[in-house]
Structure 1
Amino acid sequence: MANIRTARQEEADLLADIGIRSWELAMIPVAETGSMLENASQAFQNFTRSRWITISVVESGGVVAGWAAREQLDENITDFWIDPQYQGQGLGSALLAEVEDEIRKQGFEKVSLETHALNRDAVGFFEKHGYSVHWLTITYNPKLDRDVQTVGMSKQLVEPAGTGYAEF
C-alpha cells in the first residue's frame, strides 16, 4: 500500500539518489548519460537539499519509492521520479493522484508538466492518467550537443464553466 507524505529534510540525499536513477533510465533514448552524470547528480542534490519542502514522497512498505515536486507550489509538476525498481506497481499513479488533489484543493483548475518527447514511458504514463500534449518544442542542448524535443502536457482538473448555451 502506498503512503504519501511531505519529504523530510534528512531525506534529501536519498531523494537525489532516486532522482538520478530514474533520470538515467529516462535519458536512455536521448543520449549517453555518462558525461552528464556528475552534473545531474549535483543538480539533484542541490534541488532536494534546498527545495525538500516542495517535495511529496511515496512510500511502499515504509521505504521511499519515489517523489514529485512543485517548485513554486503552483499547478506545475516540476519533477516526478519513481525509483526504477518500484515502477509498474501503482505507486506513481497514487503519487500523481495525491499531487493533483493538492493542486485542486489550492484552487487551480489544471495541472501541467514538461518532459522530453523521447521519454515514451513518461509520456504514456501521463496520457494514461488523462494528460494531453499541448506543445512540442525543439531546443539545442549544449551538454548533449544536439537538439532535444520537449513536450508540455496538461490535464484539466476542474470542468470549465458552461458557455451559457444549451447543449442538445
Structure 2
Amino acid sequence: MIADSFLDALNPKKSAERFRQEQCQNMLVAEENGRIVGFAKYSPCRDKDLSAEFGEVDALYVLPEKQGGGFGRKLMSQAMEELRRQGFQKAMFWVVAANQHAIQLYEKNGYHLDGTQQEYDMKGNVLLSRYVRSL
C-alpha cells in the first residue's frame, strides 16, 4: 500500500529522537513480555475544515505478527478515552484507503467514512480516507 522506498527511508533513530523531544506526550504503547508490539498517538485535530470539538488519532500501529490479537482495539479504545478526557466530543483519523484490515477495525469501533479523501505523497501517491465518530 505504501512504496517500499518510503518505508526503507524511515529512520528508527530519528523517530525515537522525535518521540523523546515530544516526551511521548499523547502516546500509548502496547507491550507483551516487555516488548513494545504497538502504539497509538493522539492529539487535537490538525484538519482546518473540522471544528475544535475534534481530536485526532494521529497513528495506530501494531506489529504485523501481533495484528488480530486485540492490541489495536485496546489502543484505539484507550486513545478515544484519552481524547474524551481532554474534552473532545468527536474523533477523526486518516487511513490508507486500501487498508481494509484497518478500516474493519475502525468501523467496528464506531468510525465511519465522512466522504473526505486526499492524496498523500509517500514516494508515490497514496489515497487516504477520513473517518470520524462521536466520543
- TM-score above 0.5, yes or no: yes
Post-superposition CA distance 1:69-114 (Å, at most 9, x none): 1245971110111111211111111111111111112211111110
For 1:123, which of 93, 103, 128 is the aligned residue? 103
**Distance verdict in 2 for CA 1:142–1:85, change over 3 Å:** closer
Show structure 1 runs of 5+ residues with no match. Answer: 1-29, 158-168
The answer for the alignment partner of 2:26 in structure 1 is: 54
Give the structure with higher Rg (CA).
1
1:64 equivalent to 2:36? Answer yes
The higher relative CO (CA closer than 8 Å, separation ≥ 6) is in 2
**Distance verdict in 2 for CA 1:138–1:100, change over 3 Å:** closer
- 8 Å CA contact retained: 1:136, 1:149: no
**Distance verdict in 2 for CA 1:55–1:107, change over 3 Å:** same
Mapping of residues 122-161 of structure 1, within 5 Å: 122-139=102-119, 141=121, 143-144=123-124, 147-157=125-135
Q: Partners in 2 of 1:46 and 1:155 — Cα distance? A: 32
1:91 equivalent to 2:63? Answer no
- 8 Å CA contact retained: 1:69, 1:79: yes
Q: Partners in 1 of 2:122 and 2:72 — Cα distance? A: 31
Q: Structure 2 length as normaliser, TM-score?
A: 0.77
Corresponding letter in the other structure for 1:85:
E
Show structure 2 runs of 5+ residues with no match. Answer: 46-53
RMSD of aligned alpha carbons: 2.4
Q: Structure 1 length as normaliser, TM-score?
A: 0.64
Aligned residue for 1:89, secondary structure, equals coil
- 8 Å CA contact retained: 2:6, 2:122: no
Percent of residue pairs bearing the same amino acid type: 25
Q: Which has the higher strand share?
A: 2
The answer for the alignment partner of 1:37 in structure 2 is: 7
Q: Partners in 2 of 1:123 and 1:59 — Cα distance? A: 23
1:111 equivalent to 2:91? Answer yes
**Distance verdict in 2 for CA 1:132–1:140, change over 3 Å:** closer
- 8 Å CA contact retained: 2:6, 2:123: yes
Question: 1:66: how far off?
Answer: 0.7
